[in-house]
Amino acid sequence: MSAHFTAGTRITPLRTGIRFVSAVIGPDLRGGSVDASLQRANSGWIAVLCLTIATALFLVVAGHAAGRRGYDVAPLFFWSGVVLLVVPTSLRIAWPTTARAERLFLLFLLAESLFYCKVVYSPTSFIGHDELLHWIAAEDLISARRLFLSNPLLPIGPTYPALEILTTAIVNLTGLPLFVAGTLLLAVLRGTFIGALFLFFESITGSPRISAIACLAYMGCSTFFLFDSMFSYESLGIVLCVLTFAVEAASKDLVGRPRLKSLGLIALLLASLAVTHHLSAAFAAIYFGSLAALEAWRRHDPLRIKTSTAVGLAAILAIALPSLWVQARGIPLAAYLGPVIESGFDALLRKILGPAQRLEHLGVPDVALYMRLTTLLALLLVALGLATGFFRSLAMAAPSGARSGWRPIQDILKRRWHDSRIILLTLLAFGFPVSVAFRLTSAGWQIGNRMGTFVFIGVGLVVAVSVVHFWEGRTPRGLRRVAPAVALTVIVLGGVMSSSLNPIHGRYRVAADQESIEPMGIETARWTKEWLGAGNRFTTDRTNRLLLAGYGRQDVRVGVVQGIDPARIFEAETFGPDEFWALAGSDIDFLLIDLRLTTAPPVLGFYFQPWERQKGPLSGAALLKFNDVKGVTRIYDNGWIVIYDVRGLHGNS
């Protein structure tokens, strides 16, 4: 509590309450110089933590192995490994007296270890839905040696080919297999991301301790563990994005030629970002545009014009380069992102304003209770961090003379601050509750998930400021020393637990993306390449589509003919005239049906396309109705998967 809270006499309960709230959420920066005096990294701690992490990784591998066999002990192995990995490392990183170099080393160690946990889920091949899409594109690039080849499963992908370019550059130079090259690239991206994020926070706060804690809090983002570690364009996009922020923030005090040189590097990175990932490029444009606006808006700074000009130039580049790329390639970005954004906002508004819609809950998958509780606790802790760190974070940007009471906030309201980046990131943290709200709807989940990647940069800063300047305070001892570190550990664990439905490799599940991919489906796809040749026109369910395109090198179709989805052909109980004319009028050569789809409802809520809503499990009779159709032959059967040759329907055979 601040001193003035206890000093007053005749304090009314209302005033006491106000002063209490003010002391808790107010802008009082009591962490002093926040960083311990210069000291060396403790090699003893590093050695012990390395050994602890190795043990943890072994447990994680054991958890996956047990999960594959359906043993009940799998979660115990896996989660004890994750806890052993996260808890001691996070505690040491957040400890008030840890040296900068040690914090940095442990941050890299933690980030790469979490990446290791993601990779051992499938240690020899990419398995995520988006990963397979980009793997197919990279395979195409290696075999055809040309960019911009069409990808029917991700039509916008070929216009953002940077990830595939980088991966195939490694493959070409080293001769490594594509999976190894991609994994190596992702490991480097993880390290670069943490390095850039740390440098960014350090440039704007001047404190390695706050920066390390902010990086740790960022790991609580639901996309950090899995989504941004996938072989997918956003994994490269977010790294380039944060790198541009770090370079710009490091050059904030430079003027003249040195600033121009930094701008040159920023231009190079922004140009790369423009051809890497649409959303990351859009976020960089929003960040630099907002920064330029804040710089133009603020006052009382002698360097204002030069600083504003440099930030303005960066903003122009950040907005112009992606726009030029979209124009030059004729990318239908609005058509691609528009429906997702529209349905997301629509679902959110319905959730807020109207009664709950039954459809909204059809696709909500089941998650273990302990995972829900940990995620909920992590959310509450982040919310607490935001509440106690928001004004303190703003106060950090206030002129250095104004540090008492609410004076810093008054100064900021009068447009006086010394660093617009802190203001912007603090305001960005407001996106967190919005992203959580989106995640509560199935249509808006994608928006909330992707928002999280970016808003957590702000959340990380605010939570770190809260930990250092409020929860730990000037002389952290006892509970004040331990509790914030434990809270950060829970936040990181919450990020891991909310990253996917089930991060442990389990048995096959129906229509559950990576949980549906296993050797039998892969071998069937390989059979098509071996015995039918590549490039045949196939249609099937979502999972087998990926396998056929990736392992089978087949020309998979997401529609049978214009306006008719595969679901209509496969779900009908009988082969009626509609189905006949759709197939006969199409150029589809083969249908692949997977009878495992009849064993359970789809985990993600759909078998074929995300916009379809399933009423119940598919019936075997519906899938096998092609057996007795004249002109259709059943050329392959392995007991679960059947391939039908339908060329006889349109007279091609």
Subset of 85-114 contacting another protein (CB under 8 A): 101, 104
> How is residue 458 written in tokens?
């702000």
Please, which residue, 50 or 368, has the CB nearer to another protein? 50
Q: In the complex, what is the shortest distance from the CB of residue 83 to another protein, in angstroms, rounded to a whole number?
A: 17
Q: In the complex, what is the shortest distance from the CB of residue 558 to another protein, in angstroms, rounded to a whole number?
A: 26
Backbone angles phi, psi at 131, to 5 degrees: -60, -45
Among 3, 12, 13, 175, interactor with another protein by CB under 8 A: 175
Residues in region 487-526 near another protein by CB under 8 A: 507-508, 518-520, 523-524
By CB under 8 A, is residue 165 in contact with another protein? yes
Q: In the complex, what is the shortest distance from the CB of residue 410 to another protein, in angstroms, rounded to a whole number?
A: 34
Among 90, 168, 442, 498, interactor with another protein by CB under 8 A: 168
Helix (H), strand (E), coil (C) string for 21-85: HHHHHCCCCCCCCCCCCCCCCCHHHHHHHHHHHHHHHHHHHHHHHHHHCCCCCHHHHHHHHHHHH
Q: In the complex, what is the shortest distance from the CB of residue 65 to another protein, in angstroms, rounded to a whole number?
A: 5
By CB under 8 A, is residue 652 in contact with another protein? no
Residues in region 223-262 near another protein by CB under 8 A: 236, 239-240, 243, 246-247, 250, 257-258, 261-262
Which range of residues in 163-171, 324-332, 545-553, 565-573 is near another protein by CB under 8 A? Answer: 163-171
Q: 633-652 in b/e burial notation, b at 16+ Cβ within 10 A?
A: ebebeeebbbbbbbbebeee
**CA 9 and chain centroid, separation:** 52
By CB under 8 A, is residue 80 in contact with another protein? no
Q: In the complex, what is the shortest distance from the CB of residue 48 to another protein, in angstroms, rounded to a whole number?
A: 7
By CB under 8 A, is residue 68 in contact with another protein? yes
Please, which residue, 264 or 339, has the CB nearer to another protein? 264
Please, which residue, 135 or 391, has the CB nearer to another protein? 135
d(CA 360, CA 597): 22
* CB distance 298 to 420 below 8 Å: yes
By CB under 8 A, is residue 161 in contact with another protein? yes
Q: In the complex, what is the shortest distance from the CB of residue 262 to another protein, in angstroms, rounded to a whole number?
A: 6
> How is residue 203 written in tokens?
């440039």
By CB under 8 A, is residue 218 in contact with another protein? no
By CB under 8 A, is residue 624 in contact with another protein? no
Nearest to 140 by CA among 127, 122, 154: 154
* CB distance 269 to 251 below 8 Å: no
Strands in 353-400 per DSSP E:
none
Which range of residues in 48-56, 297-305, 328-336, 408-416 is near another protein by CB under 8 A? Answer: 48-56
Q: Say which amino acid occupies 137.
A: A
Residues in region 420-479 near another protein by CB under 8 A: none
Nearest to 61 by CA among 128, 116, 108, 127: 116
By CB under 8 A, is residue 349 in contact with another protein? no
* Total count of residues recorded for the chain: 653
Name the one residue in this structure whose structure tokens are 């928006």: 447
d(CA 155, CA 133): 10
Please, which residue, 441 or 536, has the CB nearer to another protein? 536
Residues in region 268-287 near another protein by CB under 8 A: 268-269, 271-272, 275-276
Could you write out the DSSP letters of every residue in 396-436? Answer: HTS-TT--STTHHHHHHHTT--S-HHHHHHHHHTTHHHHHH
Please, which residue, 28 or 518, has the CB nearer to another protein? 518
d(CA 91, CA 238): 26
Rounded to 10°, the helix 278-297/257-274 angle is 150
Please, which residue, 122 or 343, has the CB nearer to another protein? 122
Which range of residues in 263-271, 383-391, 434-442, 597-605 is near another protein by CB under 8 A? Answer: 263-271
Backbone angles phi, psi at 506, to 5 degrees: -120, -165
Q: In the complex, what is the shortest distance from the CB of residue 637 to another protein, in angstroms, rounded to a whole number?
A: 5
Count of residues touching another protein (by CB under 8 A): 90
* CB distance 24 to 466 below 8 Å: no
Beta bridge partners of 591: 539, 644
By CB under 8 A, is residue 141 in contact with another protein? yes
Among 34, 87, 532, 583, interactor with another protein by CB under 8 A: 532
Which range of residues in 118-126, 309-317, 388-396, 574-582 is near another protein by CB under 8 A? Answer: 118-126
Which range of residues in 61-69, 340-348, 416-424, 448-456 is near another protein by CB under 8 A? Answer: 61-69
By CB under 8 A, is residue 40 in contact with another protein? yes
Please, which residue, 385 or 550, has the CB nearer to another protein? 550
By CB under 8 A, is residue 192 in contact with another protein? yes
Please, which residue, 116 or 538, has the CB nearer to another protein? 116
Please, which residue, 162 or 584, has the CB nearer to another protein? 162
* CB distance 423 to 294 below 8 Å: yes
d(CA 168, CA 185): 10
